[in-house]
Amino acid sequence: MAPITFLTLNVKGLNSPQKRRMALIDLCRQRGEIVFLQETHFRADAAPSLTSRYYPQSYFSNYVTSKTRGVAILVARHVPFVCTHQRTDPQGRYLFIKGLIGSRKITLANIYLPNTGQCGALRSTLSKLSSFQEGLLVCGGDFNVPLDTNPESVKPTPTPEPSLRRRFMQLLHQHQLIDGWRVLNPSVKDFTFYSHAAKTYSRLDTFMMSHHHLHALRSASIAPITWSDHAPVLCAIEVLTTPPPQCTWRLNESLLRDVVIRQDIKDNVEHYFAENSTSDVSLPMIWEAHKCVIRGKLIQIGAQRKKTHRESVTTLLARIHDLETEHKTSRSISVFKELTIHRAKLNTILSDQAFKSLRHTKQLFYTQGNRCGKLLARALKRKQQTTFIPKVQSDTGTDLHLNTDITEAFHKYFSTLYQLRD
């Protein structure tokens, strides 16, 4: 599908109906398809509506105490986004939603950091985001930290805490988040906020993306400051639809311990060979085809047992709930005995599940403990996250962030160093 345009903007309050209407019209005019808004100034118990025909989906995180802070995410009607989970902040500082665009998992994170203590707030927010996110991560908002060094700002320069930007960038590096606008505009000098009091410009708004997903970033730009005191930042991101993962079937060996199932499989095998052993079909073909037939039969039996198991657990839980409710009021001994019996049945089912899980874990360590497989990959995952290369500097002094550009720079350097020929 075509790239989706993401837009982030600090709106500085949308409690006025006229300003809300103006904002929606302007966002539609700029063709923002997924919009991140900060400082909506909606109170949680009296939040107005912020939807239109173009933005029928809207998600909010509002401050519960007063009309300050607040963030929102708007989704255009033609974007096939389906929200599966949502996390809000009672302080109105962040909003996380995740879901599907087509068959692609995506997580949207809208963050509005305070004017002081930005690094501590970002550390806490990113810690919560890391346990929430799935798939492609798009993190945008107003970070209230100058994202460029002082020489890149307009004089007179802002005077933030000297180590603020350094510690802020270290936090982003730990979570492998890259400033998407700066990646595509390495030498451009542009800004998103103008301070009338200090008479200074700074770039506080941007979109952050995971280093492994930067290849999906197509364009990034900063629009002019108009009705708000911040400028909109737009990014076009390619959200490709992916086919569903292919699952590999594996025999559930517990089925073979059931005498009835073993006899059923045996009867099916005998019936299959009796019907298909003909002279016009070769024996290797018959043998290979019988594997598919038996696999289909085992899948059918496994699905039936899974359905029966799920229904039995649901029935037991419902019965236990009814008996608990009755026992709380009647304190009857007979009711308590029946409750104990049902709890024991449920405990048996859950214990079987735990035993099966432990058996699979032991089997995994036995078969994969000394191999280059999943266990080794999981052990190296955390080390790999701390040793990845976020950027390199080319011979012209330009910072390269994309994996393809980094690979090409290494290839060019070592080819020149060792005088290699293609």
Mean pLDDT of the chain: 85
Contact, 34 vs 6, CB < 8 A? yes
Whether residues 135 and 176 share a domain: the answer is yes
Token couple for 188: 């451009």
Q: What pLDDT does residue 17 have?
A: 85
Select the more confidently predicted residue: 49 or 328. Answer: 49
Indicate the number of domains in the chain. Answer: 3
382, pLDDT greater than 90: no
Report whether 89 belongs to an annotated binding site.
no
Q: What pLDDT does residue 377 have?
A: 77
Token couple for 400: 């390269």
Q: What pLDDT does residue 420 have?
A: 65
Q: What pLDDT does residue 332 have?
A: 84
Options 94, 112, 342, 401, the catalytic residue = 112
Report whether 229 belongs to an annotated binding site.
yes
Whether residues 298 and 336 share a domain: the answer is yes
Q: In 3-state terms, what secondary structure has residue 94? A: strand
CATH number at residue 34: 3.60.10.10
Q: pLDDT tens, 193-241? A: 888 788 788 899 999 999 888 989 999 999 888 888 898 999 999 986 5
Lowest pLDDT segment from 51-55, 89-93, 269-273, 355-359: 355-359
Measured at the CA of 175, the angle between CA 169 and CA 179, to 5 degrees, comes to: 50
Which of 207-221, 353-367, 386-400 ranks highest by mean pLDDT?
A: 207-221
Q: What pLDDT does residue 207 have?
A: 96
Confidence class for position 319, pLDDT limits 50, 70, 90: confident
Estimate to the nearest angstrom the gap between the alpha carbon of 282 and the chain centroid.
Answer: 51
Q: What pLDDT does residue 257 have?
A: 84
- Is 276 inside any structural domain? yes
Q: What pLDDT does residue 381 have?
A: 67
266, pLDDT greater than 60: yes
Q: pLDDT tens, 49-99? A: 888 888 999 999 999 888 889 999 999 988 889 999 999 999 999 999 999
3-state SS, one letter per residue, for 325-385: HHHHHHCCHHHHHHHHHHHHHHHHHHHHHHHHHHHHHHHHHHHHCCCCCHHHHHHHHHHHH
- Is 172 inside any structural domain? yes
Select the more confidently predicted residue: 177 or 252. Answer: 177
Domain interval for residue 343: 253-372
Select the more confidently predicted residue: 377 or 27. Answer: 27
154, pLDDT greater than 90: no
- Is 362 inside any structural domain? yes
Whether residues 198 and 111 share a domain: the answer is yes
Report whether 39 belongs to an annotated binding site.
yes
Instruction: Tell me which of 237, 269, 288 is where a domain ends.
Output: 237
414, pLDDT greater than 80: yes
Whole-angstrom Cα distance, residue 73 to residue 70?
Answer: 11
- Is 242 inside any structural domain? no
Options 142, 201, 211, 213, the catalytic residue = 142
Lowest pLDDT segment from 144-148, 245-249, 379-383, 390-394: 245-249
Confidence class for position 386, pLDDT limits 50, 70, 90: low
Whether residues 159 and 282 share a domain: the answer is no
3-state SS, one letter per residue, for 153-185: CCCCCCCCCCCHHHHHHHHHHHCCEEEHHHHHC
Whether residues 163 and 196 share a domain: the answer is yes
Whether residues 94 and 232 share a domain: the answer is yes
- Is 243 inside any structural domain? no
Select the more confidently predicted residue: 148 or 89. Answer: 89
- Select from 10, 67, 3, 63 the least CA-distant residue to 33: 3
Report whether 405 belongs to an annotated binding site.
no
Q: What number is the average pLDDT over the span 376-404?
A: 76
Contact, 109 vs 122, CB < 8 A? no
Whole-angstrom Cα distance, residue 218 to residue 238?
Answer: 7
Q: pLDDT tens, 116-125? A: 999 999 999 9
Whether residues 221 and 285 share a domain: the answer is no
- Is 127 inside any structural domain? yes
- Select from 382, 384, 409 the least CA-distant residue to 397: 409
243, pLDDT greater than 50: no
Looking only at the bridges linking them, the beta strands covering 136-142 and 177-179 are unpaired
Select the more confidently predicted residue: 134 or 397. Answer: 134
Catalytic residue status for 230: yes
Q: pLDDT tens, 279-304? A: 888 888 989 998 999 999 999 998 89
Catalytic residue status for 142: yes
Whether residues 187 and 114 share a domain: the answer is yes
pTM across the whole model: 0.63
Whether residues 213 and 265 share a domain: the answer is no
Whether residues 36 and 94 share a domain: the answer is yes
Q: Which residue has the tokens 């016009």?
A: 280
Whether residues 106 and 160 share a domain: the answer is yes
- Burial (CB < 10 A; 0-12, 13-18, 19+), residue 137, is buried
Whether residues 263 and 228 share a domain: the answer is no
Report whether 280 belongs to an annotated binding site.
no
Options 41, 211, 213, 230, the catalytic residue = 230
Instruction: Tell me which of 204, 237, 270 is where a domain ends.
Output: 237
- Select from 125, 123, 149 the least CA-distant residue to 203: 149
Report whether 10 belongs to an annotated binding site.
yes
Q: What pLDDT does residue 153 have?
A: 44
- Is 422 inside any structural domain? no
Whole-angstrom Cα distance, residue 410 to residue 418?
Answer: 12
CA end-to-end span of the chain: 36
- Is 60 inside any structural domain? yes
Q: CB atoms < 10 A from the CB of 194, how many?
A: 15
Q: What does residue 386 show for φ and ψ, rounded to 5 degrees?
A: -90, -10
Q: What number is the average pLDDT over the span 172-189?
A: 91
